[in-house]
A and B are shown apart, each in its own frame.
Chain A
Amino acid sequence: MPRINSCAELEQIRSHLLDVRDSHKPCISVCTGSGCLALGAANVVTALRAELTVQGLEDQVEIKETGCPGFCERGPLLVIYPEEICYLRVQPDDAREIITDTILGKKVIDRLLYVDSETNEKVIHEAEIPFYKNQLRLLIGNNIKIDPNSIDDYLAVGGYSALAKVLAEKSPERVVDLVKSSGLRGRGGGGFPSGLKWELTRNSPDKVKYVVVNADEGDPGAFMDRALLEGNPHSVLEGLLIGAYAIGAQEGYLYVREEYPLAVKNVTKAIRQAEEYGFLGQNILGSGFDFTVQVHQGAGAFVCGEETALIMSLEGHVGEPKSRPPYPAVKGLRGKPTNINNVETWANIPLIVNQGAEAFSAIGTEGSKGTKIFSLVGKVNNTGLVEVPMGITLRDIVYKIGGGLPGNKKFKAVQTGGPAGGCMPEELLDMAVDFDQLTKAGSMMGSGGMIVLDEDTCMVDFARYFLNFLADESCGKCVPCREGVKQMLKILTNITQGKGKHGDIELLEGLAEVAGSAALCTLGKGAPNPALSTLRHFRAEYEAHISEGRCPALSCKKLIAFHIDPDKCKACGACAKKCAPQAIEGGKKLIHVIDQEKCTKCGSCLDVCPKAFGAVRKLSGEPVPSAIPAESRNLG
């Protein structure tokens, strides 16, 4: 491919690409994002290709390996074009039928379709599946249409037209103004207005400036940035290029966490292709603008997502945060003004240029514009990535998109904002999701983690989990975080183990004030949030643990016991058979009894006891009834 030297040449190449592409040619787009790959998507691709070879159809049907469209719960998944038939949970054995029946016979395979849980109706097209229908997928919508390793695929969907537009028509100042007026706020967690950040960096007097993509996504269970980098790396590069032009930077870095090998591979390839095409390098599209970008892999520290720690790591030092001010916009990488934005923030830029600031800011709420990608996980039927307009309610996300909770369990809370975020109880389900509302509710937007919790989740234990994560990820530089978070974790651990004392809650609140206000960086400052927000909305659960030795969610192992009700046991033996530590005494026609000393509280007895008997009970905060005497156990 020869280098593209002007915007006119780019448009010629694009129209040539579209001319030679046959939009009627069948194409099977298989998601090969990390999620579907883990579920065996590579084998599905191999089976489909083999089947095409067997049937001699290699030239007539295209197989496209794409990025993640979001519905990870039902992977491996694929979409067949041009009809847009969506098949879920596809296995290699389905390949023959897909080729023979759907591609050749134009027949839909019912068993691979989505079934609406309410109406029991089967849904054929991707766009009609409720999970997708209620989203607004401006950023991840193209993922299933693009092979991330093909720059031509990106060009075919209009890729790099925003860059061309900016270079041909707009001064750097006007681009900054455009981003400012779009109302875009940073998607990495802070929610700082992106245009303002760009302007601060642009106006810093130093001639040398840097732009950085922060892809150190580390919140447990969150993978928004991974999906964008793996699935549509050019959209991030295009945003970065536009930002570099606006800010006046000639060098950029992509800081990707080490745990994202596929993202590194795809984005590295995308950079090579962009260099070949002349979107990176000298005199880009004949504009006189020069820009190069390098990929830098992190070394496994969560704190490196904090921008000063990221800079330290990029410079080759230990990834520990530094005090601000000076802010990176003034003094960042190698002492030069540096603009760091999150992956999703950069990916929004081409969209804003193409659609205009007005169209972009028409989506969302007053203080939060555009869409936001959330990683919807936990106790919810449709787990995966969801992209929604700012201002949507939590209820719509959890129920309309997420399909509610599995197993008829009662909703308890939804946690947003990552480890330093907070929990919102049922009363807040109708709250509009945006930066300011979430902060007001004691949580935060963060980078987009969203964990649904049901009635079986103990909120004290949930807070303990995140404090444990943060204590482990603290860099250890400042006392309030290194020692304070550790002390909070000790107290929470004690409470979940039945060793809570009166005064613990007050001590937790005191420690939270210390870390929350005196810690050096946002990791330490945000670390008390899991405890504070659960205390705010679920204080009674803490009190029950401490005062009554009771875990209301029946979850904390040290505070629960399993008991077989002698009046209900039918001596079926199912529990005894399943009990690994052999803690259940029983026998033919004998009422079964759990030996509390031996019981490890795994709960398998409760799981296997037939619903009709319902003899096994979980107890907390009440004495376990003494075992029925051996002579009374005979059921006769």
Chain B
Amino acid sequence: MSEVLLQIDGKQVAAEEGMTILAAASSIGIAIPTLCLHEKLEPYGGCRVCSVEVESRGRSSVVAACLYPVEKDLVVTTRTDKLDRIRKSLLEMMLAHAPDSPELQKLAQEYGANKDQFEKEASFCIHCGLCVRYCSEVKKANALGFVNRGSKKEISFIPEIAVKECWDCKECFELCPTSALQAAYVLIEALTSPPEPSTPSCVGKCSR
């Protein structure tokens, strides 16, 4: 792997080709906030709080540090007024879902985000996808996934798989930055509990 020289917050950094901006920044002690990143998982780029400004070949743009690969002579700025505005607003949007999440509250304090900026939402999920991706990438179980799209998108366990895989695992629980996952799991737990063996009226009629 060849080395790439770039600049982050005014400091020269030597990074390995293929490394992300986030990793390169971290290597020189610059911390960039993240919510959907996990060391065991492929970067996802969903929460966008790791947004940084880059300047490359005379063009400046906002990119996700967790995904954007280092480039030769890239000039990266990890904290500007614009980035602060973006992070604040993203946090406010997520706080509408999960106002009590400690992780969100901590960042909210740093960026001055108001948890009451937007009307509260019924779902606690911020769609970081940690549970879904962990189950798929690490556990290879695919017991839960996303259903629907856009603002209707939600996480959902697949009962047939969950009933077999989840009882002894539950590793995704502690990944969740809000309490949505537990709620969903409890629901599915109830749904997939074996029924009481007291109604044999349909035996033989619907055997598949």
Residues in A lying within 8 Å of B, measured CB to CB: 301, 318, 323, 325-326, 471-480, 482-484, 486-487, 490, 510-511, 513-514, 517-520
Residues in B lying within 8 Å of A, measured CB to CB: 44-49, 51, 61-64, 67-69, 82, 85-86, 89-90, 93-94, 96, 118-119, 126-127, 146, 148-153
Give bound CA distance, A374 to B62, whole Å.
Answer: 32
Complex partner residue of B146 from A318, A473, A511, A520, CB under 8 angstroms:
A318
Q: Is the CB of A323 within 8 A of B150?
A: no
Given contacts A513-B86, A514-B90, A518-B51, contact A479 B126 (CB under 8 A): yes
B17 smallest CB distance to A (angstroms)? 12
In the complex, the chain A residue whose C-beta lies closest to that of B66 is: A323
In the complex, the chain B residue whose C-beta lies closest to that of A480 is: B48
In the complex, the chain A residue whose C-beta lies closest to that of B128 is: A479
Q: Is the CB of A484 within 8 A of B150?
A: no
Give bound CA distance, A482 to B118, whole Å.
Answer: 14
For the complex of A and B, 6 pairs with smallest distance between CB atoms:
A476-B153, A483-B93, A474-B150, A517-B62, A323-B67, A514-B89
Which of A471, A473, A487, A510 is packed against the most chain B CB atoms within 10 Å?
Answer: A487
In the complex, the chain A residue whose C-beta lies closest to that of B62 is: A517
Give bound CA distance, A479 to B128, whole Å.
Answer: 9
Q: Is the CB of A486 within 8 A of B151?
A: yes
Dominant secondary structure at the A interface: helix
Give bound CA distance, A484 to B63, whole Å.
Answer: 17
Which of A318, A484, A517 is packed against the most chain B CB atoms within 10 Å?
Answer: A517
Q: Is the CB of B86 within 8 A of A518?
A: yes
Given contacts A323-B68, A479-B48, A480-B90, contact A301 B149 (CB under 8 A): yes
Give bound CA distance, A473 to B149, whole Å.
Answer: 8
Give bound CA distance, A490 to B62, whole Å.
Answer: 25
Q: Is the CB of A472 within 8 A of B94?
A: no
Q: Is the CB of A479 within 8 A of B64?
A: no
Complex partner residue of B85 from A473, A475, A477, A510, CB under 8 angstroms:
A510
Complex partner residue of B150 from A476, A510, A518, CB under 8 angstroms:
A476
Complex partner residue of A471 from B64, B146, B150, CB under 8 angstroms:
B150
Q: Is the CB of B96 within 8 A of A518?
A: no
Q: Is the CB of B82 within 8 A of A513?
A: yes
Give bound CA distance, A478 to B126, whole Å.
Answer: 10
Q: Is the CB of B86 within 8 A of A517?
A: yes
Give bound CA distance, A517 to B62, whole Å.
Answer: 6
Q: Is the CB of A471 within 8 A of B151?
A: yes
Complex partner residue of B46 from A477, A490, A514, CB under 8 angstroms:
A477
Q: Is the CB of A520 within 8 A of B85?
A: no
In the complex, the chain B residue whose C-beta lies closest to that of A490 is: B119
Could you name 19 residue pairs across A and B whose Cβ atoms are closer than 8 Å? A323-B45, A323-B64, A323-B67, A326-B69, A474-B150, A474-B151, A477-B45, A478-B45, A482-B127, A483-B93, A484-B90, A486-B150, A486-B151, A514-B86, A517-B86, A518-B51, A518-B90, A520-B45, A520-B46
Q: Is the CB of B61 within 8 A of A517?
A: yes
In the complex, the chain B residue whose C-beta lies closest to that of A484 is: B93
Which of A473, A474, A475, A480 is packed against the most chain B CB atoms within 10 Å?
Answer: A480
Complex partner residue of A482 from B49, B63, B82, B153, CB under 8 angstroms:
B153
Given contacts A474-B149, A482-B127, contact A325 B85 (CB under 8 A): no
B114 smallest CB distance to A (angstroms)? 12
Q: Is the CB of A479 within 8 A of B90?
A: yes
Give bound CA distance, A510 to B119, whole Å.
Answer: 17
Given contacts A476-B149, A479-B93, 11 further A-B contacts (CB under 8 A): A471-B151, A472-B150, A473-B150, A477-B46, A478-B46, A478-B48, A479-B48, A480-B48, A480-B93, A513-B86, A518-B51
A571 smallest CB distance to B (angstroms)? 49
A429 smallest CB distance to B (angstroms)? 31
Give bound CA distance, A324 to B89, whole Å.
Answer: 23
Question: In the assembled complex, which residues on chain B have CB atoms less than 8 Å from the CB atom of A490?
Answer: 119
A512 smallest CB distance to B (angstroms)? 10
A511 smallest CB distance to B (angstroms)? 7
Q: Is the CB of B150 within 8 A of A475?
A: yes
Question: In the assembled complex, which residues on chain A have CB atoms less than 8 Å from the CB atom of B119?
Answer: 490
A335 smallest CB distance to B (angstroms)? 14
Given contacts A323-B64, A479-B46, A518-B48, contact A487 B93 (CB under 8 A): yes
Question: In the assembled complex, which residues on chain B have CB atoms less than 8 Å from the CB atom of A479?
Answer: 46-49, 90, 93-94, 126-127
In the complex, the chain B residue whose C-beta lies closest to that of A514 is: B89
Give bound CA distance, A429 to B89, whole Å.
Answer: 37
B52 smallest CB distance to A (angstroms)? 10
Give bound CA distance, A530 to B59, whole Å.
Answer: 24
Give bound CA distance, A166 to B88, whole Å.
Answer: 55
Given contacts A476-B127, A519-B48, contact A482 B96 (CB under 8 A): no
Give bound CA distance, A386 to B126, whole Å.
Answer: 44
Question: In the assembled complex, which residues on chain B have CB atoms less than 8 Å from the CB atom of A473?
Answer: 149-150
Question: In the assembled complex, which residues on chain B have CB atoms less than 8 Å from the CB atom of A477?
Answer: 44-46, 127
Give bound CA distance, A483 to B127, whole Å.
Answer: 10
Q: Is the CB of A483 within 8 A of B150?
A: no
Question: In the assembled complex, which residues on chain A have CB atoms less than 8 Å from the CB atom of B94?
Answer: 479, 483
In the complex, the chain A residue whose C-beta lies closest to that of B43 is: A323
Which of B62, B94, B126 is packed against the most chain A CB atoms within 10 Å?
Answer: B62
Give bound CA distance, A318 to B150, whole Å.
Answer: 13
Q: Is the CB of B85 within 8 A of A514?
A: yes
In the complex, the chain A residue whose C-beta lies closest to that of B148 is: A476
Give bound CA distance, A318 to B149, whole Å.
Answer: 10
In the complex, the chain B residue whose C-beta lies closest to that of A524 is: B48
B167 smallest CB distance to A (angstroms)? 27
Give bound CA distance, A162 to B113, whole Å.
Answer: 60
Question: In the assembled complex, which residues on chain A have CB atoms less than 8 Å from the CB atom of B62?
Answer: 517-518
A342 smallest CB distance to B (angstroms)? 23
Give bound CA distance, A318 to B67, whole Å.
Answer: 19
Give bound CA distance, A475 to B85, whole Å.
Answer: 24
